[in-house]
Structure 1
Amino acid sequence: MRHDRGSGHVVFEMDLSLQEARRRAEVVAALGPDWDPLAVMRAEEEAYDLLYSGLDQGQRETYAMLVAAGVLPRREAGRASD
């Protein structure tokens, strides 16, 4: 704690770096040794491919509008949404 003479306020600062490092370590420990982040990312991509597959014309137009507005990320050509 310190007193800011210019404003007359008491400034309270707390460094949470150590607590954040502990929190992150606990999260990784809770995920366990079998957690495979690359497999999770691949499964997520497969889920998106399924989600955007088989769209009719109106749905493709809506999808394109949402991509253009920045709501959805653009997917590479040749993906399920094409």
Structure 2
Amino acid sequence: MSLPPNPTYAVFEIDLVHEEARRRAEVVTALGPHWDPIAALRAEEEAHDLLYSGLDARQRATYDMLVSAGVLPSRETGHAAD
């Protein structure tokens, strides 16, 4: 539905594609030149391994239930991050 022409209304448009590209560029700039994405992924994997290590049987069953429900990502090999 479009409004009839009215001199009291102003057209307001935002190019969201351009804004998303600008936002991503700002994020990369804020991370700085020394940011290492591979090291960040390795640290994330290490943190995940540490977080879910040493689970008892009940905790492991809960973890497996959350993975099968899609709440937590599967840790099986064959994924892009592996």
Instruction: Provide the TM-score with structure 1 as the length reference.
Output: 0.71
How far apart in 1 are the matches of 2:38 and 2:74? Answer: 21
Correspondence for 1:22: 22
| 5+ long unaligned stretches in structure 1 | 78-82
5 Å matches for 1:13-52? Answer: 13-52=13-52
State the Cα distance separating 1:67 from its structure 2 match.
Answer: 0.9
Q: Structure 2 unaligned segments of length 5 or more: list them.
A: 78-82
Q: Which has the higher strand share?
A: 1
Amino acid at match of 1:59: Q
Q: How far apart are residue 12 of structure 1 and its match?
A: 5.0
Give distance in 2, aligned partners of 1:52 and 1:72: 11
Equivalence map 1:2-81=2 (5 Å): 4=2, 13-76=13-76
Tell me which of the two structures has the higher relative contact order, counting C-alpha pairs closer than 8 angstroms and 6 or more residues apart: 1
- Identity value in percent: 68
How far apart in 1 are the matches of 2:63 and 2:28?
A: 35
Aligned CA RMSD, in angstroms, stands at 2.6
Length-normalised TM-score, structure 2: 0.71
